[in-house]
Chains A and B, each alone.
Chain A
């Protein structure tokens, strides 16, 4: 903008100088014209005077000639008058040629010639009157005629001289005058172009200014609306001038009419909750020292007595040497209430988690203890009293033993299930192939017993909780082993492929997100597809304990582990043919 102003100023200064230049040239031109006219007039005056001189001399001569012929003395009056007229003419000629020495010299010569002529005229008169006898009239007259010719010659010479001088002057002025209009025209054209250019530029900028003005207006209006919608307001405090501006919404947030009080910290503090005033007051002190963004939370009491929670965020901005403090104040009452509720809920949740954890402790130790003792006592009795017991007694003891064993297994599994969460668990980059290998090693006895054949594809390296994934493999393979067909070889195939989420409607995702799909497929007894979802529910079993021992927790643990890893698990079954478990783990 400054550059632009400088440009405009330059144009105007240049134009001003050009105009001044044109004026001075025009003035010079005009004065040249005047001088030239004066010169012309002067030249004519000289010529007139010279011609008059000639005619005066001729008048005197004519008059005398008339007198000589008629002897009438009346003819002599021009002769007598001409003398004084001639003198007058010479006086004015002298005045006119005051700066022209060459002319004056010639004029002086002319005067002498004229004086001589008059002497001759006087002589003629004297001859006429007879006072002079030594000269004849004819001779005198002849001389006079010769002299008259000389005078005529002199005057012509003078006129010629004057004309020459005049022409020289005239030539010089003509030269000056010829170029003046051209220069003026060029300068004027240039100035005109400059003005037109400036006008175009100014006009363009004006349009731009109008547009930005309009934008500014829209933006100001938008901010006003935004303030009302977002329940916030703005305060602008110029530190240099100590001028404070509050936006209209500040008054509204305080339950007042806009501009109902003078913007000042003191007036604002009146609305702040008495217990929180120190926050705002101290804040003002502090923000004068520091130039950081700061946040303050405090309560205000609105005009209508309602208590609201405000959050103000402020920062100092240095702009054009002015230090301005911009503050954004927001009514966060709903947010604050939500937060408090959330915190309360969180506390409850933490408490409940603690309870759960102490329940785990109870389950793992205190519930196990009596069971262990029952088992030990039974085995003690069986060892010492076996011989004295009836057959049915022994059977009952066996049944007690089985129940206790089952109870222990239930507690163990339940404990495992409740511990399968992700709090405090560490995710590490793990090779799933290694985890699977460990699992197979752990289950080698069962695999051998069932004569199962296991095939595995290459598995990825993922960021997982390793022991949970191992548990997942263990439970799934165990499941396959348990429900293998009574006769025939059991096949367990572990497959893996990278897929896009959108290609699997079962995931219910439209995204391009990539997943690893790991499948555990067996050729066992399978199950009816209608139970595919139920099998993941805790304690849900498709067989009785007598057929297949189990607690109904294993697959629930699988589901929980997969969910801990932000994945999905699905089961597909065909009764008598086999079951396939599909696990989807996020690829990233």
Chain B
């Protein structure tokens, strides 16, 4: 593993979305290391295993079998050494209620899965180049939902 690359972890049950995600990062010029897990249970198992490196940014799909993204989010925020991981919600739906819940539970940013590849790339680029300190320090509800 290269130390200077950004380590990105995606938890999403949809194979196509995982593919889009990987392809998008490959075509971005920034150096990244992308790992994907298939559901919430697998994600939690990965995170609690001390041998695994913690990601810089965790992308979390909300609608997953076995353990939903929201449940994972709540669990992560209860675990001391995990709670500082930057979390981006990456979901198809973006109802007011879901955005509100994610914000309250401590997610850093909310991305609604876009309808075209170009937008996806722009979103991901934005997220990994974001000033995380700014996002994590102040709870800024207004720019929580990412839009371009």
Using a CB–CB cutoff of 8 Å, the interface residues on chain A facing chain B are 364-365, 368-369, 371-373, 375-376, 378-380, 383, 408
Contact = CB atoms under 8 A, between A and B. Distances in A.
Nearest to B95: A364
Interface string B109-131: 00001111110100000000000
B122 to A, nearest CB: 12
B20 A369 contact: no
B118 A379 contact: yes
Nearest to B14: A369
Contact of A372 (B23, B63, B115, B118): B115
Contacts of B20: 376, 380
Nearest to A382: B117
7 contacts: A364-B93, A365-B63, A365-B92, A375-B116, A376-B114, A378-B116, A383-B117
Contact of B92 (A368, A383, A408): A368
Given A369-B92, A373-B16, A408-B115, 19 more contacts: A365-B93, A368-B92, A369-B14, A371-B115, A372-B113, A372-B115, A376-B16, A376-B114, A376-B115, A376-B120, A378-B116, A379-B115, A379-B116, A379-B117, A379-B118, A380-B20, A380-B23, A380-B117, A383-B118
Interface in B49-86: 63
B92 A372 contact: yes
Interface in B1-42: 14, 16, 20, 23
Nearest to A374: B115
A466 to B, nearest CB: 15
Contacts of A365: 63, 92-93
A518 B115 CA distance: 39
A207 B120 CA distance: 100
A383 B92 CA distance: 22
A272 B54 CA distance: 77
A387 B14 CA distance: 30
Nearest to A404: B115
A152 B36 CA distance: 177
A380 B114 CA distance: 12
A383 B121 CA distance: 12
A487 B143 CA distance: 41
Nearest to A372: B115
A492 B103 CA distance: 41
Between B14, B23, B113, B116, the greatest number of chain A beta carbons within 10 A of the residue's beta carbon is seen for B116
Nearest to B121: A383
B8 to A, nearest CB: 19
Between A371, A372, A378, A408, the greatest number of chain B beta carbons within 10 A of the residue's beta carbon is seen for A372
A325 to B, nearest CB: 57
Contacts of B63: 365
Between B63, B114, B117, B120, the greatest number of chain A beta carbons within 10 A of the residue's beta carbon is seen for B117
Contacts of B117: 376, 379-380, 383
A371 B92 CA distance: 12
B78 to A, nearest CB: 29
A368 B112 CA distance: 13
Nearest to B23: A380
